[in-house]
Amino acid sequence: MRVAMFATLLTATTLATFAKESSLNFLKEGKPNASELLPPPPLPDSAEQAADMATVRSVYQAASDADKQAAYDEKKFSVFNFTTTVGAYFVETNLPKTTAFFEKVQKDAETVTDLGKDHFQRPRPFTTDPSLANGKLEKSFSYPSGHSTETMVLALVLADLLPAQHDAIIAHARQMGWHRVQIARHYPTDIYAGRVLAQAIVKQFKKSDEFEKEAAEAKAEIEAACKAALN
């Protein structure tokens, strides 16, 4: 009976993984593989875990109301969260090709991250310490951080298209990732793992001819929109 139940569970997990990976746009199946690329998160009841949790508590308690509200507002996000950094012209209505391109980019990043979460199954800080619960709580696992991974992927790709604003774009993404610690959605180690995973994802993107083609089209569209805004 237990063998049959395990086999059923294994089959369901395998099918779910296949369904996620089959929806990839610019990445090949298993490249990158978060479970192979990233180290495991701190072990429960370890000194490392205790230190990670202590940081979450400290950061959460020190966060301003403005930082917490920014984090809540970023629960759903896209490349256009970077409009305040890039410029007022950088909006969806001006950039249909760019919008479609970055939606594919973000979806791929989300898929890779979700597979990593399912593998590591690290409980979120507010699950381990219910006193940290606030706002609408997520049901997914904690490691690696989806927000950190996806925002950094978006930022790395966007910064390649807008090299003059590279540092500001990357700083914006780092801040969005850190906001998740400020509302106790993630441990710092979740955020750092997301940044590492993001770099690996973008590295794999650049091996795709279709990615490079659509990135070039997005770059041309962004440059045209910027020029139009200046005239």
pLDDT tens by residue, 153-202? 999 999 999 999 999 999 999 999 999 999 999 999 999 999 999 999 99
Confirm whether 29 is domain-assigned. no
Confirm whether 170 is domain-assigned. yes
pTM of the model: 0.91
DSSP-assigned letters across all residues of the chain: -HHHHHHHHHHHHHHHHHHHHTT-SSSBTTBS-HHHHSPPPPPTTSHHHHHHHHHHHHHHHH--HHHHHHHHHTSS--GGGGHHHH-TT-SGGG-HHHHHHHHHHHHHHHHHHHHHHHHH-PPPHHHHSGGG--SSPP-S--SS-HHHHHHHHHHHHHHHH-GGGHHHHHHHHHHHHHHHHHTTSS-HHHHHHHHHHHHHHHHHHTT-HHHHHHHHHHHHHHHHHHHHHH-
pLDDT in tens, 77-89: 999 999 999 999 9
Confirm whether 35 is domain-assigned. no
What is the number of domains present in the chain?
1
- Looking up residue 202, the CATH number of its domain turns out to be 1.20.144.10
Confirm whether 3 is domain-assigned. no
Confirm whether 11 is domain-assigned. no
pLDDT reported for residue 6: 47
pLDDT reported for residue 12: 43
Residue 51: pLDDT band by 50, 70, 90 thresholds? very high
Confirm whether 21 is domain-assigned. no
Residue 17: pLDDT band by 50, 70, 90 thresholds? low
Confirm whether 20 is domain-assigned. no
pLDDT reported for residue 231: 87
Confirm whether 62 is domain-assigned. yes
Mean residue pLDDT across the chain = 93
| Residues spanned by the domain of 196 | 46-230
